[in-house]
Structure 1
Amino acid sequence: PTCEFCVKTTPIVAPLAKDMEINLLQYNLKEFESGWNDYGIESTPTIVQYKDGKEVNRINGYQEKAVFETWFQENSVN
């Protein structure tokens, strides 16, 4: 990712997701511009959670590690 906040967020959420055994996929909107509309992305970074193929939650923007950790714990569907 090249957006400033994505660059700051990835090193926080990628290890958290791995440690918490959360299947986290990254989608490069510069490479796949249709993702803005396809997934209703208004800003980056955005983490979208799906269950049974439907969106159930999302978090936008850069957050501190504790915020992401709490969000993953409260919203994990794995």
Structure 2
Amino acid sequence: MAIKHASDASFKEDIAEGLVLVDFWATWCGPCKMIAPVLEELAPEIEGKAEIVKVDVDQNQQTASEYGIMSIPTLVLFKDGELVDKVVGYQPKEALVAFVEKNA
């Protein structure tokens, strides 16, 4: 399953159904670059349970502001459009699997 890239315009639609893990990130962010391959590896493992959506906070400031994103990377879990959980900073794959599964 491919990771989606959301914009301010598409965000609400991208998180509307099911469990969605949103990665708020930026191109200049070191920890964001570290977590990107972890998310790529995670995507096929959580297929059927959750989707992964990335939001570039520099290009989509409205969405980042709406959800109070102050530090990146921030990973936010949405279920049917509702925010259910949030974690800030780099996370190893095992922690992300547990994060998704406890809310699945």
Shorter-chain TM-score bucket reads 0.7 to 0.9
> Higher strand fraction: Structure 1 or Structure 2?
2
Aligned residue number for residue 34 of structure 1:
62
Structure 1 unaligned runs (5+)?
none
Give the secondary-structure state (helix, strand or coil) at the position aligned to 1:10: helix
Identical columns (%)? 29
Aligned equivalent of 2:77, options 41, 46, 49? 49
Is the counterpart of residue 60 in structure 1 residue 88 in structure 2? yes
Deviations along 1:5-52, one digit per CA (max 9) or x if unpaired, are 110011102321332112111000111122331122121111111122
Moved over 3 A (4+): none
Higher relative contact order (CA 8 A, sep 6+): 2
> Higher helix fraction: Structure 1 or Structure 2?
1
Deviations along 1:46-73, one digit per CA (max 9) or x if unpaired, are 1111122211111111022221122122
Structure 2 unaligned runs (5+)?
1-26
Residue 6 of structure 1 aligns with an amino acid whose one-letter code is C
Could you say what the CA RMSD is over the residues aligned between the two structures, in angstroms?
A: 1.5
The answer as to whether partners of 2:77 and 2:100 remain within 8 angstroms in 1 is no
**Quick one: distance in 1 between partners of 2:94 and 2:56?**
24
Aligned equivalent of 1:12, options 23, 29, 38? 38
